[in-house]
Chains A and B, each alone.
Chain A
Amino acid sequence: MDHVSSLPDEVLYHILSFLTTKEAALTSILSKRWRNLFTFVPNLDIDDSVFLHPQEGKEDRYEIQKSFMKFVDRVLALQGNSPIKKLSLKLRTGFDSHRVDGWISNALARGVTELDLLIILYTADYYLLSSKYFRNLVTLKLNSVRVDWLAAGDIFLPMLKTLVLHSVRLCVDKYFFSALPALEELVLVSVNWGGKDVNVSNASLKILTVNYNICLGTFSVDTPSLVYFCFTEYVAIDYPVVIMQNLFEARISLLVTQDQIERARAPNIDWVEDDVVLRLVNMEKLIKGIRNVQYMYLSPNTLEVLSLCCESMPVFNNLKSLTLKSHKSRGWQAMPVLLRNCPHLETLVLEGILHHVTDKCGYACDCVSREEKGCSLTSCPVKVLEIKGFRGTIKEMHMIKHFVNYFPCLMETNIYIEESGPPKLRVPQVCEFIAEMMEHYGKSSSFNVQLLVGGYLYKKWTAQ
């Protein structure tokens, strides 16, 4: 029995809306009932990557492109003035940009709420998005196009909640973001700013992701409602304004050159003279701006660059959980100050504990032997310590012992070994070491250590 054809029209449109337009169009030939159903789906999801077959000759491709244009024109003609919800256009193989302008305008005129465009031309130029009136748009995603919204009043996006700009060439004035009254999420990835200063100023923004942007001047953020901030960037020239007082979670991964790291480590730096270092020092403005955060992740590079901000390190009063990733080429110079400035820290997650040894991390770990060893740990109230990416080396085991010894409020330590990590032979040695450690350090009766292998609990030790 054919159950599916007897479903109501709106239900069939909804089912077809989960397919690309091309896939949905195949149903036109199933039976008379299905002939034009796909044209009423209020989404157009078109991706021309189906053209990228190396075997096809050039003539073939031209014919297929012609029939592709004809197809889109026909579907739009059949849809007439009916409302459309989403238009997704991914074009990489060359096309008539005038025609594409027409398609986009058609969708905008019919109240499209979600627009997702990836348009790559054969030439080195960008496709210029000429449309300016996006009255109903709630979600806008642009990839590889050029956006020129410089004149005041040039852009009207009153309902926009989500804006994703990827590899876009952006020319906007500094009031652009503040003119988006409903914006909640902004993603800027590999955007080319043409050397301009970036100014993300918006009262309603909640989520901000800034990754791999290029050619930017200074970077300012004024987002009082921001809850989540993800930042993977080269160090900007300066951070004049950073306002995020309601921030909940921040992930900061700096991209640095080896030259920057070496200059930062140089013992007698004259900051005023050294441009490179001055730029790194300006990071302190970014760190100060996020100081109200509750969950923070810092990459190995970020932790090393913070070594230049130790004197001005803010107090992270609300920080409950801190995750630090380590790498053997990057140091922990900022670790002592950082741990001392987290008065309410509950959880510390260390993704890898082996790091580049300097004499400045000495207070926080036992890499270098010194008298006040561990003193910055004794003021840190952390209750849960998680060690991820544990490799079972002696050095790591000594570091864990050091933490267990000096963190005064520690209740729980979880050690994670990857499945692909050290061979099973080492696990018994690790267990022996942990057992010894438990005996040695008379912790409270509720202190426990768990060893997890491949994500599953292998063994648990509780203090007697």
Chain B
Amino acid sequence: MSSKMIVLMSSDGQSFEVEEAVAIQSQTIAHMVEDDCVADGIPLANVESKILVKVIEYCKKYHVDEANPISEEDLNKWDEKFMDLEQSTIFELILAANYLNIKSLFDLTCQTVADMIKGKTPEEIRSTFNIENDFTPEEEEAVRKENQWAFE
């Protein structure tokens, strides 16, 4: 049984052929398929090829059926390896997952960043993400007082 293929085009002009069933995990793509405007391929103006490759890798892994049976435990282990990426790549992946509306990938990438924030002091969080503290000492004191309980 041959599977229907569609073509995805990255912002930097590269084309990727993907099974339709795999690609429609993206709600954005699914709607385009429904509206029948995919004949010449789908241009993804907001997604670079480097990121699109990762997105396709994710969607292929998560297209679970008889040909690709996989347990939740194995998927969790795979997620960990998959998300072992540079920060800038993670953020681009977040934006791509949001734009393509792939809920599980969006949740995974955001959870990864949340895990980088969890358990850290504000100073440590700033250091992890290179965030510049633009509060004056008085302003900072005011914020601490506002949310006193959180800083106890």
Chain A residues within CB distance 8 Å of chain B: 1-5, 7-8, 10-11, 14-19, 22-23, 25-32, 34-35, 50, 64, 67-68, 70-71, 74
Contacts and interface: CB of A to CB of B under 8 A. Distances in A.
Given A3-B87, A4-B91, A11-B95, A74 B146 contact: yes
Contact of A71 (B94, B118, B131, B150): B150
A22 B114 contact: no
Contact of A2 (B94, B106, B131, B152): B131
Interface stretch (B11-19, B55-63, B68-76, B122-130): B122-130
A27 B117 contact: yes
A412 B87 CA distance: 50
A346 B22 CA distance: 34
Given A15-B114, A25-B150, A64-B149, A31 B143 contact: no
A67 B129 contact: no
Interface string B62-91: 000000000000000000000000011001
A70 B149 contact: yes
B115 to A, nearest CB: 8
Contacts of B151: 26, 29
A14 B110 contact: yes
Contacts of B111: 18
Given A4-B91, A30-B126, A15 B113 contact: yes
B50 to A, nearest CB: 15
B129 A19 contact: no
Contacts of A8: 98
Nearest to A18: B114
Interface of B: 87-88, 91, 94-95, 98, 106, 110-111, 113-115, 117-119, 121-122, 125-126, 129-135, 139-140, 143-144, 146-152
B132 A31 contact: yes
B148 A11 contact: no
A29 B122 contact: yes
A3 B129 contact: yes
Given A4-B131, A29-B122, A30-B133, A15 B150 contact: no
B152 A31 contact: no
Contacts of A30: 122, 125-126, 131, 133
Contacts, number: 102
A27 B114 CA distance: 11
B148 A67 contact: yes
B43 to A, nearest CB: 21
B147 A15 contact: no
9 contacts: A3-B129, A4-B113, A7-B94, A22-B150, A25-B147, A28-B143, A29-B122, A29-B143, A32-B135
A238 B146 CA distance: 58
B131 A11 contact: no
Nearest to A5: B131
Given A3-B129, A31-B133, A23 B117 contact: yes
Given A11-B110, A25-B149, A71-B147, 16 more contacts: A2-B129, A4-B131, A5-B129, A15-B114, A18-B110, A25-B147, A26-B150, A28-B146, A28-B147, A29-B151, A31-B126, A67-B149, A67-B152, A70-B149, A74-B146, A74-B147
Given A27-B122, A27-B125, A70-B149, A19 B91 contact: no
Nearest to A16: B114
Consensus secondary structure, chain B interface? helix
A7 B91 contact: yes
Nearest to A20: B118
Contacts of A3: 87-88, 91, 129-130
A62 to B, nearest CB: 13
B85 to A, nearest CB: 12
Nearest to B144: A29
A19 B135 CA distance: 24
A19 B112 CA distance: 11
A52 to B, nearest CB: 13
Contacts of A19: 114, 117-118
Nearest to A69: B149
Contacts of B129: 2-5
B135 A29 contact: yes
A331 to B, nearest CB: 35
A121 B121 CA distance: 32
A199 B151 CA distance: 48
A34 B122 CA distance: 11
A281 B139 CA distance: 73
Contacts of A64: 149, 152
Nearest to B149: A71
B143 A35 contact: yes
B52 to A, nearest CB: 19
Nearest to A74: B146
Nearest to B88: A3
A89 to B, nearest CB: 14
Contacts of B87: 3-4
Nearest to A23: B118
Given A2-B130, A26-B122, A29-B144, A11 B149 contact: no
A5 B131 CA distance: 7
B146 A26 contact: no
> Closest 9 A-B residue pairs measured CB to CB?
A25-B150, A18-B114, A71-B149, A67-B149, A4-B129, A15-B110, A2-B130, A3-B91, A67-B148
Contacts of A14: 106, 110
